[in-house]
Structures are given as structure tokens and as C-alpha cells.
Amino acid sequence: MLKGRNILLGVTGSIAAYKAAMLCRLLKTSGADVRVVMTPLAKQFITPLTMATLSKNPILVEFFDPENGAWNSHVSLGEWADCYLIAPATANTLAKMACGIADNLLLTTYLSARCPVAVAPAMDLDMYAHPATQENLEKLRAAGVAVIEPDEGELASGLCGKGRMAEPAQIVRSVEALLDQKKKSLAGKRFLVTAGATIEPIDPVRYLTNHSSGKMGYAIAEALARRGAEVTLLSGRTCLPAPEGVRRIDVLTAADMYRAATELFPSTDGAVMCAAVADYTPAEVADRKLKKGDGDLTIRLCRTRDIAAELGRMKNDRLLVGFALETHDALAHATEKLRRKNFDFVVLNSLQDPGAGFRGDTNKVTLLDPSGAEELPLMCKTEVAGRIADKIENLLR
Ligand code: CTP
């Protein structure tokens, strides 16, 4: 029932943390990919080793890995998750969530998560019944958090009453229901995404290409598909596997990509032009390997057709998103591309920004539309893809 879903399981410092092991196991057997974030106190109740073994993923507790300084990004965790389930959730964590306090990784992830959030409270009956706790739960419900009601029964304190964390099987059912309920925001929409580098053959063994890894375009295709859109990924050269649920069509040259894109575009609601398309291609392709001579070799190149500009002419009320990679006068050049290619918005990356552009896993972009520019901080490419998907969603609304 949870096949292909990413569940982020938050574990806080409650005696009910022992049930988190069973919960994690049930989530896994339902087909979910599970990552676990724990509060520092939760480690006193259940070991990270247990949770790491069951989830088959390293456990996240600190903002940084103390061993190697690697940053655990709460934003990308929130972006990765289809559901953030905090179980058990203590009175203390619920209170902090209700007030927006962010003094550990579990809480910062809550504040930045855009996915549905569910909490399974676990505490003593009087703590649960206390007006402060009830008020905090009300606040969280009002903020859209699903509260999985605790059971009545014997509690760790020896008392009997309401406060015992719901049984793991019940929590899994609640998560399934929550995800079913949450309608996919781009369901029924169709998109074309171009990605990767084109390859322009010179002869049977040599070609012209560029440094594009395809990561940005693949991340966008995945982000749109995860929101329920039907995505066709028109892909040049990359080493990446097709994202789940995305139809991938491989092409080689700029001319192949042009033909496929102009054919596919009319049956979509929009396109994101992420491919690094060659602007020039050899005027002639030798059908036999060119043998070297003593002198220099000149290869005559001719212009390829601009796919984005052609889709810009065809677009009518479809959405068209372009990329601009600039080394100087970035904003001026990107504004010119926005207008000339009839884009609804342009994702501008400047090669002058460290961490932006080709190959890496991060990017620093500015989203530019006719009403102005929004500069985003350095983020991993999946987060950038999420922001682009958000903007597409807003424009289609
Ligand atoms: N693009 C395209 N087809 C081409 C060339 C570019 O679809 N033949 C798309 C890219 O996918 C990107 C945008 O157009 O969305 C980039 O615009 P472009 O003018 O090609 O940028 P540069 O090549 O960087 O332009 P310039 O050389 O003028 O800087």
C-alpha cells in the first residue's frame, strides 16, 4: 500500500520509542522507503543501530555528521518525504512544534516539510489531558497536522488511561489513509521535460557535446511525477536512470530532440527546457572515421534549431519554462531569453556562483518571470526542482 512512498519517521524520547522499531518494520514491509530522524533523547530509548538496521538507512540526529562534518539538510529531507510521521511524539516535541521551536533536526525538518505531517502522541494520561497539551494539539490540527489519537490502556507509569501510542499497524493504516487523501497536486497534468546533453557526431567515433549531467532535468521530471503529473523526459546523454513513474525517450542530436519535442509538446500542459542543446552541429558527418593528416583540421559547423524558441511560438496557453546558464551580465541575458523564447519563467544559474551549474548535486538559481526575480540560496538539485515544481503549480492554478 505504501509502495514507492518515502516516509520520514521521526522518533522522540518516549518509552513508546520501542514501538518505533515495529512501526519502521511495518512501513518497510508495506513497500515504503523509510528514513529515520531521532531527537538526541530518543537515542536513550532505542538505539540508532536498531533503527538503521530496520530502515536500511543511516539515522539522522545531528545537523552535522560529527565524523565527517557532512550537513544533514532538513530542507532536502522534507522535500524527499511524501509523509513525515512523528511517532512517538512526546508532549515536549508537540509543544515545540506548535510554537515553531527548532532546536533539533527533527523539529527543523518539521518546519521545512511541505509534505503531509502526522503525529502519534505518547505520554502519561495526565500529560495528555493537560490543557496545554490539548491546546498544542489543536494548534497542530489547525496547521494541517494529522493527529493519530493515542489508545486507552495501561501506561508505563502504571496508571491506566488515554496516552498510549496507537499500535504500529494502526499508525501505518493512518499514514496510508493520509496519503490517499492528499490529492496529487499535478494529477491530470502532462509535462515534457528535456534534459542532458545532445551529441553531435563528427564521424562514427567522434562527437561534440557539453558538460551537462542531466541531474537538474531528471530532478524536475521526478518532482513533477511525484506530484501526480504524467511526465515525458526527452533525454540526451546522461548516466542517470529514469526516475520512477516517468516515461523516458532517449535522443542523440539537437535535431532528434527538436523533432521529438515539437511532436510531443501539443499534447502537454507545458514543458521545462532543461537540456543543454548544442547550438552548432558539424555541417557534414563523415560516414567513415576521419584519418589524421599532418596539418590542422577545420570542421565547419552550422546552427541547430532552437527547440525552446519553437515551442515558445507553438505554446498558446501552455506553460514554458526555460533555463539560462550565464557567465556574465546574467540577469540581462536571462531577461532577454525570457522575452525572446516566450518563456513563462526562466531558471537562471550563473557559473560564477560556487556550487551552481554542471555536474554537482547543488545549484544556486534565480527564478525570473516578467514580474521580477526571486533569488534562491544554494540548495541541492532536488530542492531546486521542488521550488520549480511549486512555481509551475502556482502558475497553473
Ligand atoms: N534551448 C533549446 N534548444 C536549443 C538551444 C537552447 O531548447 N537549440 C533551450 C535550453 O534548454 C534552455 C534555453 O533554451 O532552456 C537556453 O537558451 P540559450 O539561448 O540556448 O542559452 P545559451 O545557449 O546559453 O545562449 P547563449 O549562447 O546566447 O548564451
Mean pLDDT of 309-335: 95
Q: Lowest mean pLDDT: which of 248-252, 255-259, 324-328, 371-375?
A: 324-328
Atom of ligand 1 nearest to the CA of 275: 11
Instruction: Express each pLDDT in 19-67 by its tens digit.
Output: 999 999 999 999 999 999 999 999 999 999 999 999 999 888 887 777 7
Split at pLDDT 50, 70, 90, the class of 102 is: very high
Atom of ligand 1 nearest to the CA of 311: 7
Place of cell 543511516: 58
Residue 322 burial (CB count, 10 A): 25
Give the C-alpha separation, 111 to 97, whole Å. 8
Instruction: Give me ligand 1 centre to Cα 277, in Å.
Output: 7
Catalytic residue from among 210, 342, 349, 394: 210
Split at pLDDT 50, 70, 90, the class of 158 is: confident
Instruction: Give me ligand 1 centre to Cα 248, in Å.
Output: 21
Residue of the nearest CA to atom 17 in ligand 1?
Answer: 324
Instruction: Give me ligand 1 centre to Cα 324, in Å.
Output: 7
Give the C-alpha separation, 342 to 207, whole Å. 31
- The confidence score (pLDDT) of residue 396 equals 92
Give the C-alpha separation, 245 to 233, whole Å. 11
pTM over 0.75: no
Pocket of ligand 1 (CB under 6 A): 194, 254, 273-275, 277, 279, 304, 306-308, 322-325, 337
Fold of the domain spanning 187-396:
Rossmann fold (3.40.50)
Q: Is the pLDDT of residue 184 over 90?
A: no
Helix, strand or coil, per DSSP, at residue 152: strand
Tell me the pLDDT of the chain averaged across its residues: 92
Q: Is the pLDDT of residue 246 over 90?
A: yes
Give the C-alpha separation, 347 to 338, whole Å. 10
Residue of the nearest CA to atom 8 in ligand 1?
Answer: 306
Mean pLDDT of 330-352: 93
Instruction: Give me ligand 1 centre to Cα 263, in Å.
Output: 19
Q: Is the pLDDT of residue 357 over 70?
A: no
210 is catalytic: yes
CA distances (Å), origin 303, targets 132, 281, 283, 297: 69, 6, 9, 19
Share above pLDDT 90 across residues of the chain, in percent, rounded to a whole number: 76
88: cis peptide before it, omega within 30°?
yes
Residues in the chain: 397
- For residue 249, the cross-strand partners are 234
Instruction: Express each pLDDT in 110-149 by its tens digit.
Output: 999 989 999 999 999 999 999 999 999 999 999 999 999 9
Instruction: Express each pLDDT in 186-209 by its tens digit.
Output: 999 999 999 999 999 999 999 999
Give the C-alpha separation, 187 to 205, whole Å. 43
Share above pLDDT 70 across residues of the chain, in percent, rounded to a whole number: 97
Q: Lowest mean pLDDT: which of 49-53, 286-290, 347-351?
A: 347-351
Residue of the nearest CA to atom 12 in ligand 1?
Answer: 323
- The confidence score (pLDDT) of residue 395 equals 94
Q: Which three cell numbers stand for residue 116?
A: 503531509
Instruction: Give me ligand 1 centre to Cα 208, in Å.
Output: 16
Q: Is the pLDDT of residue 362 over 90?
A: no
In 3D space, the residue among 82, 153, 151, 91 whose CA is nearest the CA of residue 118 turns out to be: 82
- The confidence score (pLDDT) of residue 306 equals 98
- The confidence score (pLDDT) of residue 183 equals 61
- The confidence score (pLDDT) of residue 46 equals 96
Cα four-point dihedral sign 383, 385, 389, 391: positive
Give the chain's count of helices (H) and strands (E): 14, 21
- The confidence score (pLDDT) of residue 182 equals 64
More confident residue, 110 or 244: 110
Give the C-alpha separation, 297 to 292, whole Å. 8
Q: Is the pLDDT of residue 181 over 80?
A: no
Q: Tell me which architecture the domain covering 6-184 has in CATH.
A: 3-Layer(aba) Sandwich (3.40)
User: For residues 116 and 122, is the Cβ–Cβ distance under 8 A?
Assistant: no
Atom of ligand 1 nearest to the CA of 279: 8
Q: Lowest mean pLDDT: which of 173-187, 230-244, 258-272?
A: 173-187
Mean pLDDT of 327-334: 93
In 3D space, the residue among 302, 346, 296, 299 whose CA is nearest the CA of residue 324 turns out to be: 346
User: For residues 302 and 281, is the Cβ–Cβ distance under 8 A?
Assistant: yes
Which of 329, 341, 351 has the most ligand 1 atoms within 8 A of CB, as the residue to mutate? 341
Split at pLDDT 50, 70, 90, the class of 185 is: confident
Q: Where are the domains of the chain?
A: 6-184, 187-396
Query: 362-363 and 319-326: which strand pairing?
Result: unpaired
Give alpha helix (H) positions in 240-366.
254-264, 307-314, 330-340
Helix, strand or coil, per DSSP, at residue 304: coil
Contacts of 105 (CB under 8 A, 6+ apart): 37, 60, 61, 62, 63, 72, 74
CA distances (Å), origin 346, targets 232, 320, 336: 20, 9, 10
Atom of ligand 1 nearest to the CA of 321: 15
Give the C-alpha separation, 2 to 11, whole Å. 20
- The confidence score (pLDDT) of residue 359 equals 67
Q: Is the pLDDT of residue 323 over 90?
A: yes
Q: Which three cell numbers stand for residue 241?
A: 536512470
Give the C-alpha separation, 244 to 157, whole Å. 46
Domains 6-184 and 187-396 share a fold: yes
DSSP assignment string, 53-79: HHHTS--B-SSB-TTT--B--HHHHHH
Q: Is the pLDDT of residue 336 over 90?
A: yes
Q: Which three cell numbers stand for residue 330?
A: 546574467
